[in-house]
Amino acid sequence: MRRVSIFGATGSIGQNTIDLIAREPEAYDVVALTGGQNIAQLAQDAIRLRADLAVTADETRLDELRQALAGSDVEAAAGREALLEAADRPAEWVMSAIVGAAGLEPGLRALQRGATLALANKESMVCAGQLMLRTAQAHGGRLLPVDSEHSAVFQALIGEDLDAVERVIITASGGAFRDWPIEDLPKATPAQAATHPNWDMGQRITIDSASMFNKALELIETKEFFGLSADKIETVVHPESMIHALVGFNDGALMAHVGPPDMRHAIGFALHHPERKPLPVERLDLVKLGQMTFRPACEIRWPALRLAREVMEAGGLCGAAFNAAKEVALDGFIDGAISFTRMTEVVEEVLSRVSPRLRHIDDDFGLDMVVEADHLARVEAGNIIAG
Ligand code: NDP
Ligand code: MG
């Protein structure tokens, strides 16, 4: 049996991961499941999957979790420290699906003991890509991408020489507002932004899809994950979300990864790697699909894409600041403190203030420096939003 842990088990990626694991109970020994506020779901899955341990990140909710687990053999724990200790437990395969920079440290801890880390938490690569790669290498850990675009690139690169790659094209659905008049965007509400045309995902990533901050994070993730220079990474709007990414080679070949928008493909690929095994995803009917369309990714409609390019060029710890400022701006938008379009202005302002200090930091930075850059950007973003 393979020992597995799922961080962010109660979320959208976490639940899709559980869906796959629960289909083969004889194949997996579940070590730890972690969640945040959704105690009922966490306890229910931990009992059903016979996990050793269930952890809520919220230390005030330990009693509630204990009650929900009463009568079972599942151990309960709560708080940040418990979350990190859960990452030290000996699971060979760990799903990193906490949302935000909060997912970085548990993933690092799993890599430090040589685990295979299935990485949905793109923020880890954006904030600390070099640290993630270095940690995996130093301890015999393995990083596998779960973001659908990066799984697609990874699959297109199997057996290929990275030097032969001319470009990588990351597709974008365009999110909730791709057809809105640009002048209406300042009036967009969080509820409107949180509806995705194709994918069923958590609230934060769905709003990030509407602003294209999600795609901005993914462009940076591509650079970090595959070690490509920024000028080789492109994006195009593809409203049908059937092609997840394309890799262009120096002989003109363009390899596309095509499939219906179902995260269980990328999760299952990472779960079974290096093998391919049957997965319960819909098989694409090309005739029924009829056509696939593409549009330019306009940086006036989606200025987050321009910022991503600036962050990739700046390097250092600008990615950590970019992500942190984005998280604070997103909270501000969800709470009604700032408008939809103000989010990018806040992030741009934070970058202009902090990047002179962060851009020259060498790739051998440690976690403490990432935490510092993250904190600095959060403080600046908070100040800007407060006016
Ligand atoms: P969700 O919001 O659905 O789930 C997030 C998970 O993290 C939940 O289990 C939540 O607990 C937990 N959580 C939230 N805050 C904290 C915290 N501070 N500390 C510890 N745990 C926390 O997110 P998604 O599943 O949509 O996304 C997860 C990650 O995967 C993100 O990085 C996202 O960008 C990435 N991703 C997601 C895709 C998708 O299809 N959803 C596609 C590609 C990437 P609870 O809900 O119990 O409060
Ligand atoms: Mg993605």
Among the bound ligands, name the one nearest to the CA of residue 12: 1
Give the tokens for residue 287. Answer: 């005739």
pLDDT value, residue 144: 98
pLDDT value, residue 56: 98
Q: Name which residue sits closest to atom 36 of ligand 1, judged by CA.
A: 120
Pocket of ligand 1 (CB under 6 A): 8-14, 35-38, 57, 97-99, 102-103, 120-123, 147, 199, 201-202, 204-205, 263
Ligand-binding annotation for 232, yes or no, is no
In order of start, what are the domains of the chain with their CATH numbers?
Answer: 2-145 (3.40.50.720)
pLDDT value, residue 329: 98
Inter-residue contact 337 to 385 (CB < 8 Å): yes
pLDDT value, residue 310: 98
Is the complex ipTM higher than 0.85? yes
State yes or no: cis peptide before 274, omega within 30 of 0. yes
Q: Give the C-alpha distances (Å, rounded to integers) separating 220 from 129, 288, 312, 348.
A: 9, 34, 6, 16
Ligand-binding annotation for 250, yes or no, is no
pLDDT value, residue 299: 97
pLDDT value, residue 227: 97
pLDDT value, residue 364: 96
**Starting from the edge strand earliest in sequence, which strands make up the sheet with 75-78, in order?**
75-78, 53-56, 28-35, 2-7, 93-96, 116-119, 142-145
pLDDT value, residue 362: 95
pLDDT value, residue 234: 98
Q: Ligand 2 centre and the CA of 190: distance in Å?
A: 20
Distance CA 2, CA 20 (A): 14
The mean pLDDT values, 10 residues at a time, for the chain of 387 residues are 98 98 98 98 98 98 98 98 98 98 98 98 98 98 98 98 98 96 98 93 96 98 98 98 98 98 98 98 97 98 98 98 98 98 98 97 97 98 97
**Starting from the edge strand earliest in sequence, which strands make up the sheet with 233-237, in order?**
254-258, 243-249, 165-172, 233-237, 295-296
